[in-house]
Amino acid sequence: MTSTRHSVCALDCPDACSLLINVDETGRGSRLRGNPDHPITQGFLCGKVARYLDREYSPQRLLAPLRRVGAKGEGRFEPISWDAALDLIATRLQTTAAEFGPEAVLPYSYAGTMGILNGAGMDRRFFHRLGASRLDRTICSSTGGAGLTEALGVRYAMEPEHFRHAKLIVAWGANILGTNVHLWPFIVEARRNGAKFYVIDPRENRTGKLADRHYAIRPGTDAALALAMMHVIINEGLEDKQYVADHTLGIDGLWGKVEAWNPRRAAEATGIPAQDIVDLAREYATTRPAAIRVNYGVQRSERGAMSVRTIALLPALVGAWRDLGGGLQLSTSAAFQLNRPALERADLQLASPLGREARLVNMSLLGDALTKLDQPPVKALVVYNSNPAAIAPDQNTVRQGLRREDLFTVVMEQFQTDTADFADVVLPSTTFLEHTDLYYAYGHHYLQLARPALPAPGDTRPNTEVFRQLAARMGFTEPCFQDSDDDMIRTLLSGGHPFLDGITLERLDAEHSVRLNLPTPFLPFANGGFGTSSGKCEFRAESLVYTPPIESRAGDQDLARRFPLELITPKNDDSMNGTFGYKDEVDAQTAKVVIHPLDAAPRGIQTGDQVRLRNDRGECLLIAEVAEKVAVGVISSPAVRWPKLSPDGNSTNMLTSQRLADLGGSPAFYNCLVEAERLD
Ligand SMILES: Nc1nc2c(c(=O)[nH]1)N[C@H]1C(S)=C(S)[C@@H](COP(=O)(O)OP(=O)(O)OC[C@H]3O[C@@H](n4cnc5c(=O)[nH]c(N)nc54)[C@H](O)[C@@H]3O)O[C@H]1N2
Ligand SMILES: Nc1nc2c(c(=O)[nH]1)N[C@H]1C(S)=C(S)[C@@H](COP(=O)(O)OP(=O)(O)OC[C@H]3O[C@@H](n4cnc5c(=O)[nH]c(N)nc54)[C@H](O)[C@@H]3O)O[C@H]1N2
Ligand code: SF4
Ligand SMILES: [Mo]
């Protein structure tokens, strides 16, 4: 008898799909599909997860704990028992803390799973109680979050379902078909009803190819475009005077600031013709409802927070928030008002030997943290839900750090990643199909619960269980270390926020997916209600600025002469950061770099040639595709390749820098100057 079970896709994707899986009497899963009854999943999955069972049952899955026997990074290990592995880890963490202070221990995790228990639950309690350094989890979105908060005060967003009502949709640094495909049906519906769909992106991706217009903007210059749109809108009196008067502050100062940002000046900065900027601004201001889907692509830049902030001021200027189908979406996650403080228990730091709040280490600066940080230096690193040897910027420095003989490294993983190769101990982890977790989303407003659908293979264990067991070995006696997964879910639901009214564990078990208790329709700023102290959207014109990124053609001229190409490394359509990097087809996709014919010709580069990209930080080898999908001066290679599978052992994060964005601490991944040469 085959039964059907429910699950939730845990990958780091806005869509957080509701899944159905067939399971036979032996417990083996077959046929993974999207839940047809889920309002966002709508019965379909992206290509990568439709085939997730390949990964689930891959012969490359890690099934037993391992201890390193070779050199760091070499990847030679021998199996050991869980007891031996946990004893070893507990002893090393204790001696490290005793000798150097507990802050010498650094956790390193990101969103390998979006499950809250396995991503930010027992692990947080454990490291807080130990007094370990706290990790500032900036690698992805914190810059955009900071920019959005500057504009709106609270990071609420348009509902995805409302895009169907829009008459103009702008995908701004958002590769919807690649990274957020469950928004697409709503866009198709809107277009069927006459909506226009525009894309603002330095490259022509899948989404841009299907758009009514593609504006090829230069990387990191979005704030210049947004300021020029404000110029046109105010100059032509197209702002929503009522909304501006009722719900914004500082319109008078705004003209003083944007007056200088005429479309010609913005055209020079962005590479988008001035007339196109004028037309876009007019159309945006005069079409209702108008929706902007801005995604994290725009904020992986030195000017990322300013980009998001200026873009997020546009809907207030034209009153788009009033309309069903109008407004902006960056992330819906802020509406999930879960009781995370009670889950994470930062107060346990006071019970730690440290006795105070531990220092905060920016994960985007891992290279520096492992090679330069002092008082104390990082002596033990515990990695889970992340693959920093592949995904962190300035790979060279990260690797130098991971290679340190005096660094004790634990990696909890499903696959033998580059990071796992540097581990002293590798612990085999369950997948989302095998453990319980609670899921928020950053592209919709449904809270979801998943129970194990499949048995855990081999000796794999969930992160939650590993940290419970480590806590016991370390002698942490607080009752919270005995909390079950269900206890932790109840804790998360317990904060009393009205958006969680009526949502219980029992209801989640029965319904799997529950809409947050938001007003329907949810129009967060239709009547103001911004999260600023004034309650209004504050333009604060004096602090709106655009200056070109240092690593751009208009930035540091010495750099730009030596390294004249602007490299962007956006997401690969058919993988998920490094999660599927072991697959041959993903490796082939992420081995490519697209270069414009006018940049390729003088370098003698043709499609299929092996090229070396280099800058002062390092180099890597890729295969050229010569095409007009990028503008002159821009090259693009999809992220993230497993370095160890490339011919020289390097991937594009050899080239990216630890220079941070303007606010929020995220890396400026997409402002990266390089030179390219053909290999003979
Ligand atoms: N298939 C797939 N889906 C994914 C992921 C994946 O790896 N693969 N990763 C997940 C994760 S972790 C995240 S954070 C989200 C991110 O989702 P997105 O933000 O949609 O993805 P990105 O590729 O980072 O950037 C989107 C687009 O921004 C463009 N871009 C780059 N620089 C600029 C710029 O300066 N200005 C503008 N206007 N556009 C720019 C890129 O070319 C890209 O097409 O996707 C998630 N979904
Ligand atoms: N050049 C460049 N670099 C980038 C980006 C880019 O666009 N360009 N994007 C950046 C962004 S936006 C992000 S979010 C980061 C992503 O960085 P990461 O979050 O590190 O990347 P992932 O590959 O999504 O997940 C990492 C690992 O988590 C493991 N994992 C999954 N589930 C579990 C689990 O339940 N337990 C344990 N122990 N492990 C699990 C997976 O096997 C995978 O190897 O990369 C960043 N790096
Ligand atoms: S990766 Fe995204 S689109 Fe694909 S199944 Fe998971 S949540 Fe859905
Ligand atoms: Mo991300």
* Structure tokens that stand for 429 in this block: 């982890």
Look at residue 130 and tell me if it is in a domain. yes
Which ligand lies nearest to the CA atom of residue 441 in the structure? 3
Which ligand lies nearest to the CA atom of residue 40 in the structure? 3
77 and 212: one domain?
A: no
Look at residue 647 and tell me if it is in a domain. yes
119 and 170: one domain?
A: no
CA 314 to chain centre: 24
Q: Residue 1 has what pLDDT?
A: 83
Burial class (CB in 10 A: 0-12, 13-18, 19+), 5: middle
Q: How much distance in Å is there from the Cα of 18 to the middle of ligand 3?
A: 9
Asked whether 111 lines ligand 2 (CB < 6 A), one says: yes
Look at residue 531 and tell me if it is in a domain. no
Q: How much distance in Å is there from the Cα of 304 to the middle of ligand 1?
A: 13
661 and 621: one domain?
A: yes
Look at residue 444 and tell me if it is in a domain. no
Asked whether 118 lines ligand 2 (CB < 6 A), one says: yes
Q: Domain boundary at 330, 355, 387, which?
A: 330
Q: Residue 454 has what pLDDT?
A: 98
Extract the residue ranges of the chain whose pLDDT is less than 50.
none
Residue-wise pLDDT tens digits, 107-136: 999 999 999 999 999 999 999 999 999 999
Q: Residue 96 has what pLDDT?
A: 98
Find the CATH number of the domain harbouring 323: 3.40.228.10
103 and 117: one domain?
A: yes
Ligand 2, atom 40: nearest CA belongs to which residue? 385
Hey, what long-range contacts does 43-51 have (CB within 8 A, 24 or more apart)?
Answer: 44/182, 45/9, 45/17, 45/19, 46/13, 46/15, 46/17, 46/181, 47/574, 48/11, 48/574, 48/575, 48/576, 48/580, 49/9, 49/11, 49/17, 49/19
The candidate with the shortest Cα–Cα distance to 110, out of 463, 516, 489, is: 463
Name the residue range of residue 159's domain.
Answer: 143-330
580 and 665: one domain?
A: yes
Q: Residue 680 has what pLDDT?
A: 84
Look at residue 162 and tell me if it is in a domain. yes
Question: How do strand 592-595 and strand 634-636 relate by DSSP bridges?
Answer: antiparallel
Ligand 2, atom 7: nearest CA belongs to which residue? 570
- How many alpha carbons lie under 13 Å from residue 617 in its C-beta half-sphere? 26
Residue-wise pLDDT tens digits, 468-496: 999 999 999 999 999 999 999 999 999 99
Q: How much distance in Å is there from the Cα of 636 to the middle of ligand 2?
A: 20
103 and 159: one domain?
A: no
Q: Residue 444 has what pLDDT?
A: 98
How far is it, in rounded angstroms, from Cα 188 to Cα 212? 12
The number of folded domains in the chain is 4
130 and 170: one domain?
A: no
Look at residue 61 and tell me if it is in a domain. no
Distances (CA, A) of 130 to 43, 117, 470, 476: 44, 19, 11, 9
284 and 305: one domain?
A: yes
Q: Residue 522 has what pLDDT?
A: 98
Which ligand lies nearest to the CA atom of residue 114 in the structure? 2
Q: How much distance in Å is there from the Cα of 412 to the middle of ligand 3?
A: 23
Q: Residue 140 has what pLDDT?
A: 98
Ligand 1, atom 45: nearest CA belongs to which residue? 179
Can you tell me which atom of ligand 3 is nearest the CA of 45?
A: 5
130 and 197: one domain?
A: no
Mean residue pLDDT of the chain comes to: 98
Q: Which residues line ligand 1 (CB under 6 A)?
A: 12-13, 140, 172-175, 178-179, 200-203, 205, 217, 219-220, 222, 295-298, 301, 568, 570-573, 575-577, 670
234 and 282: one domain?
A: yes
Can you tell me which atom of ligand 1 is nearest the CA of 670?
A: 32
Find the CATH number of the domain harbouring 371: 3.40.50.740
User: Would residue 145 be called left, alpha or beta, if left means φ above 0 and alpha means ψ between -120 and 50 degrees?
Assistant: alpha
101 and 114: one domain?
A: yes
Look at residue 615 and tell me if it is in a domain. yes
194 and 302: one domain?
A: yes
Q: How much distance in Å is there from the Cα of 439 to the middle of ligand 3?
A: 13
Question: How do strand 446-450 and strand 437-439 relate by DSSP bridges?
Answer: antiparallel
Find the CATH number of the domain harbouring 8: 3.30.200.210
Look at residue 347 and tell me if it is in a domain. yes
Q: How much distance in Å is there from the Cα of 4 to the middle of ligand 4?
A: 31
Can you tell me which atom of ligand 1 is nearest the CA of 207?
A: 44
